[in-house]
Amino acid sequence: MDDAPVLTRRELLKRVTLVGTAVAIPVRLVTIGRTSADAATVQGVNAAPEAFETLTTVEGETLQAIVARLIPTDGNGPGATEARAAQYVDRALGGALAASREAYRVGLAALNAYTQASRKAAFAQLSAADQDAVLLELETGAAAGFAGSGIFFNLLLAHTIQGTFGDPYYGGNANFVGWDLIGYPGVRLAVAPGDQRLDARPAPTHQSAYDLAMFSKKKPARARLAADGHDHAG
């Protein structure tokens, strides 16, 4: 770990959006350098407690703790918690991500069984440092007795990224905190020449694609997800 390359959180998030995949990004790079002091300096929107619709209470608490460590809140701004990434996953598991519901049921139970055996507590009850260590063990396949932990980790990370940076219409990226974090200005139908400069910083529109007349909002987001039958990342 001492010799591992260190990326700032913002650099890592830019890499996520440029590459468009979660699979090749080690969790140790996400969490290095993040402290509780960093989190305390964040000026963002606090996600209010919200009942889970698809996950059980224990599953929801576990997922909420996981996303909070995968894309943590720190001095750069809000993270997956404020973006309501866990709520996005919960709703989508009842629709477009329904095929992953069993994987979450088995995986979250296996995760808590692993932390109970190795650290005498459920994942959500562990310290931030222990949670980071457990996620690294999942990612690298070092979690004894947790078969397929790396696959489950990649599923969690991919869905957390969707819930943090996808179009808010689908239930995540609340208050556009994900887009603001990476400097994405939002949907625009016209781009001025000045906005195409590499150093341009266009003002955010804070507009979902579904705020435009060309997209239908006749069905609620969850109904559209279920009808479409596949993942939406943005």
What are the pLDDT digits (tens) for 128-184?
Answer: 999 999 999 999 999 999 999 999 999 999 999 999 999 999 999 999 999 988 888
C-alpha closest to that of 83 among 153, 155, 171, 177: 177
Does the pLDDT of residue 225 top 50, yes or no? Answer: no
- Name the CA dihedral angle for 90, 91, 94, 100, rounded to a multiple of 10 degrees: -40
Work out the pLDDT band at 121, boundaries 50, 70, 90.
very high
What pLDDT is stored for residue 217 in this prediction?
Answer: 63
Pairwise pLDDT comparison (102 vs 199), residue with the higher score: 102
* Mean pLDDT across 16-24: 43
Rounded to an integer, what distance in angstroms lies between the CA atom of residue 35 and that of residue 15? 21
CA distance 122 to 114: 9
Residue with tokens 């781009």: 191
Domain extents in the chain = 9-228
**Res. 20: pLDDT tops 70:** no
Cα(49)–Cα(44) distance, rounded to whole angstroms?
16
Per-residue pLDDT band for 216 (boundaries 50, 70, 90) equals low
Q: Is the pLDDT of residue 233 over 80?
A: no
Would you place residue 19 in the very low, low, confident or very high pLDDT band (cuts 50, 70, 90)? very low
**Mean pLDDT, rounded, for 31-54:** 52
User: Average pLDDT, stretch 13-26?
Assistant: 45
- Residue 221 to residue 194: CA distance in whole angstroms: 34
Coil, strand or helix at 136: helix
pLDDT reported for residue 97: 94
pLDDT of 49 higher than 50 = yes
| Interatomic CA distance for residues 140 and 188, integer angstroms | 40
Per residue in 91-117, pLDDT tens? Answer: 999 999 999 999 999 999 999 999 999
Contact 160/71 with Cβ under 8 angstroms?
yes
30 with 70: CB under 8 angstroms?
yes
